[in-house]
Structure 1
Amino acid sequence: MARTSGKLSRITEQPSHYDHLEQMSVGELLKHINEEDALVADAVGKANPQIEALVEAIETRMKRGGRLFYVGAGTSGRLGVLDASELPPTFGVPEGWVTGIIAGGDEALRHAVEKAEDSPEQGWNDLQAFHPTADDSVIGIAASGTTPYVIGAIRQAHQNGLLTGCITSNPNTPLAEASDFPIEIIVGPEFVTGSSRMKSGTAQKMVLNMISTTLMIRMGRVHGNRMVKMQLTNAKLVDRGTRMLQDYLGLDYDEAQQRLLDAGSVAGALKGKGRKH
């Protein structure tokens, strides 16, 4: 990033392309927000080679028994916790296989915790509670790429032999420099100047989905195109699993549901049963 008056000039802090927002109608505001959001997928696509390199490196370690950690603050931290928390019910993975860590702890999921992101030591301290090993991987998430909590965690993780990556919305940041596998998603200025919960947050969510879903597929948690190891935590998922078994085994609904409930998962019910022809 360029330097202005001795400070880093961050794209995420540059003025919006729109002004006088308070004078716009509801329709105008929605239209322009949507126009800006439409730019995000293309920006993510340009970073596909960076994402691929990180996923392949994490996969190698996960197949040795390693875990994945997300570390972030504010919106970035919340998105990491969200992605990690969805994997056990969606793919049936053990709790702790993928973990989100947010500056300020669980309280910060709902409320801003003052100065939680400002400590360069606390990120690694929070990570140490999980007894990380050299087979583990850590992804730092920070739109600015300058968050001390995240940079400190990544630097210490690297020094301790963990694989490190990051997701940021600015080029050439301290966070990217500290990471083995940086991912830079340049979405441009936000619709509301500096509000990185918007395009930057959307980009982070997309990249996290790409990383975790690809890893789950590569780790054998999907059969065909279906979540055969999802947890049966509600009626909707039981119904979904039942219909999967109907399709795979040619059973009527009641028999398929009974097999599902007896086995505890679609994968379990399919084991040794063979697919219908």
Structure 2
Amino acid sequence: MTIPPTSTSIPVQRSTEALDPNHADLDRLDPLALVQAFADDQRAAVEAVRSATPALARVVEAALPRLESGGRLVYVGAGTSGRLGVLDATELTPTFSWPPERAVPLIAGGERAIRQAVEGAEDDAAAGANDVRAANVGPGDVLIALAASGTTPYVLGAVEAARSLGALTVGIANNPGTPLLAAVDCPVALDTGPEVISGSTRLKAGTAQKIALNTLSSALMVRLGKVYGNLMVDVRTSNAKLEDRAVRLTCHGAGVSESEARAALAQAGGSVKTALVMLRLGLSVQEAEARLAAAGGHARAALGEG
């Protein structure tokens, strides 16, 4: 596969780089008006994601079979986009007990780039391809490529390598008609337009990417059985706050007292899902775990609710 030309070879119309005529006097605003300008402009991020919901739903449908078969989510980006990918990948483990080895964030410039800019890293297409190969990306994996501009060479190099290795590729960009969206299996355009501070895509472009990632990964986790009703039943109880949350979830889902919930969770090793099945069906830990395994980890199916 050949990557479509990048911004270095042909001009690409990028609305994220356009000047916003509504904020030409931004530096003259008083604090209240300044904050209102930034806050009001963020509404466009929500609307951009709402417009992209059909595309995001197609990603869920395409990605689900690979993840059900043990595949990984691999995030690729540079700068703000790369950091957002790192954040989404990191949060899947405590929220849904998603194995950390199955959420792989790749960022231009490596881990150092999470905290500081690594000059020129995003311009290296070969580095993107090499990082994908080093992560052993393969046919079972889903690569989520993020670039506000839609032209970042590091990201485009990663996409080309991932597609050649058989992975499902997803592209999220804030400019329609850009090379990234043309290069992937599942394009998602978040058309957020010009920024209040011209060209600063850490603003509403970044917000739209964050919302899209939250939406996409959360929808996948729901479909994978990590949620019962709207209860976060696969939460990892790694601290006191999350232990208390697990108790509340178990009380609500099973309709039991706090003491009953705590006792069941202790037997279930902190697993809300297992505790729910135990309490609702009067089963032992082993019986509840076996029932969940037979249901593919879906609590509703394990409870016989279809």
The TM-score normalised by the length of structure 2 is 0.85
Q: Is the 8 A contact 1:121 1:152 kept in 2?
A: yes
**Counterpart for residue 97 of structure 1:** 102
1:57-206 equivalences under 5 Å are 57-206=62-211
Q: What is the CA distance between 1:128 and its match in structure 2?
A: 1.9
Cα deviation, 1:118-156, whole Å, max 9, x if unaligned, reads 111111211222212211111110000010000110011
- C-alpha distance in structure 1 between counterparts of 2:193 and 2:37, whole Å: 14
| Correspondence for 1:11 | 15
1:269 is aligned to 2:275: yes
Contact 1:248 / 1:275 at 8 angstroms: preserved in 2?
no
Aligned partners of 2:160, 2:117: CA distance in 1, in Å?
Answer: 25
1-structure distance, mates of 2:261, 2:59: 39
Q: Who is 2:229 aligned against?
A: 224
Judge conservation of contact 2:170–2:186 (CA < 8 Å) in 1: yes
Residue identity opposite 1:194 in structure 2: G
Query: Is the Cα–Cα contact under 8 Å of residues 249 and 275 in structure 1 kept in the other structure?
Result: no
Q: Is the 8 A contact 2:264 2:278 kept in 1?
A: no
Give 5+ residue unaligned stretches, structure 1. none
The count of corresponding residues between Structure 1 and Structure 2 is 272
Cα distance in 2 for partners of 1:254, 1:206 equals 37
| TM-aligned CA deviation for residue 207 of structure 1 | 0.3
Instruction: Tell me the C-alpha RMSD between the 2 structures.
Output: 1.6
- Whether contact under 8 Å (1:72, 1:103) holds in the other structure is yes
Higher helix proportion? 2
TM-superposed deviation, 1:34: 1.4
Moved more, 254-263 or 33-42: 254-263
- Contact persistence 1:68–1:136 (CA under 8 A): yes
Shift of 1:29: 0.8
CA distance in 1: counterparts of 2:209 and 2:35, whole angstroms: 21
Q: Residues 67-126 of structure 1, C-alpha deviation per residue, up to 9 Å, x if partnerless?
A: 111100000000000001000110011112222211111111111111111111111211
SS of residue paired to 2:278: coil
Aligned residue for 2:136, secondary structure, equals coil
1:275 Cα offset (Å) = 6.7
Which residue in the other structure is 2:41 paired with? 36
- Tell me how far apart the structure 2 counterparts of residues 61 and 168 of structure 1 sit (CA, whole Å): 23
- Counterpart of 1:254? 259
**Mean Cα deviation higher: 166-175 or 128-137:** 128-137
TM-score by length of 1: 0.94
CA distance in structure 2 between the partners assigned to 1:245 and 1:105 by the alignment: 40
- 1:15 maps to a residue whose letter is L
